[in-house]
Amino acid sequence: AAGVIQSPRHLIKEKRETATLKCYPIPRHDTVYWYQQGPGQDPQFLISFYEKMQSDKGSIPDRFSAQQFSDYHSELNMSSLELGDSALYFCASSFHPGQGEITGGPAGELFFGEGSRLTVL
């Protein structure tokens, strides 16, 4: 079965550089979530999209932005990178049957990708 695909799997950047992470959700999933997980930490919610529109926002820095495209893939753009941005970035997707509004509430389980490990030097 198809899973959530993230790319790149590993990324090394210098301070103040920019980085873009990509996420391809499971086919027919309508919601994409981005989480950041620092070393030894729990995943922290950044942002989510339902049917290509932002549905919920968490602790995403202003230096970061994200969008979901017409083919449902999503990209997380990170600018002016700082050392503290070094982390695993996870994308997850889910499906909300019968959800008519953009509420952001999960209807069930999230399916996670393997993550993109960003190292900022």
> Which positions touch other proteins (CB under 8 A)?
4, 33, 35, 41-45, 48, 56, 58, 88, 90, 92, 103-106, 108-115, 117
Nearer to other proteins, 56 or 75 (CB): 56
Residue 83 main-chain phi, psi, to 5 deg: -55, -35
Question: 24: how many CB neighbours lie within 10 A of its CB?
Answer: 19
Q: How far is the CB of 84 from other proteins (least distance, A)?
A: 18
For residues 25 and 4, the answer to whether their CB atoms sit within 8 Å is: yes
Instruction: Report the alpha-carbon angle 57-61-63, nearest 5.
Output: 125
Nearer to other proteins, 67 or 88 (CB): 88
Q: How far is the CB of 80 from other proteins (least distance, A)?
A: 25
Nearer to other proteins, 24 or 90 (CB): 90
Q: How far is the CB of 41 from other proteins (least distance, A)?
A: 8
Nearer to other proteins, 13 or 45 (CB): 45
Cα 111 from Cα 49, distance rounded (Å): 14
Q: Who contacts 17 (Cβ-Cβ below 8 Å, separation ≥6)?
A: 81, 120
